[in-house]
Chains A and B, each alone.
Chain A
């Protein structure tokens, strides 16, 4: 069974510094995708970044980058130049080979989350 592990219940960072949020995963499927979502106190899940298992390069989206180490099964999120508005819960999630009707449909398995607090 697929599993996502986030070992940091909480992280603190100073404004304008970089922070790394850890994520490890376990799957036997060779084709999978890894996602990071941000959940502010309002509750909505906001998509940040995606990495496919066959992607050769690490994904980047603005201040977010994903440090993908396939052999170690880790997909850490790096946030550069932290801002006060980055304070939120962050979830790592994985999509693996679930299919229905003959096509893969993107069912997500989430980790437990990491609460990030950015200090001024």
Chain B
């Protein structure tokens, strides 16, 4: 596929459950971002990877959130002991630098609902 893919597209979790969200970036894209988008709001930055290195995790809201990208391609965002406030769409984006512009390509997102 040519674009960023994410799975699952929809996830319903009971409060307290652990979830894992997957992102497949565009092949060859070094940079990968995770964003959280609450209903009716703009996306907010969670974390950034350059290849397998997590260089910025300043946006992760708590230590229940963990992200990895062990081989520098596929990334997983894990949320432990989910809470209702974790309900949101989680967007993944991969990026390349083209003509001086860091153009980010977004996936369709995973809509997480915590009940």
Q: Using a CB–CB distance below 8 Å, which chain A residues touch chain B?
A: 4, 33, 35, 37, 42-47, 50, 52, 91, 93, 95, 98, 100-101, 104-113
Contacts and interface: CB of A to CB of B under 8 A. Distances in A.
A77 to B, nearest CB: 14
B42 A113 contact: yes
Contact of A101 (B42, B55, B104, B111): B55
Interface of B: 31, 33, 35, 40-45, 48, 50, 53, 55-56, 89, 91, 93, 95, 97, 100-109, 111
B45 A100 contact: no
Contacts of A42: 108
11 contacts: A33-B102, A50-B101, A50-B103, A105-B55, A105-B56, A107-B33, A108-B33, A109-B45, A110-B42, A110-B44, A111-B42
B50 A101 contact: yes
A35 B105 CA distance: 12
Interface of A is mostly: strand
A52 B102 CA distance: 11
A44 B106 contact: yes
Contact of A45 (B45, B97, B106): B106
A105 B31 contact: yes
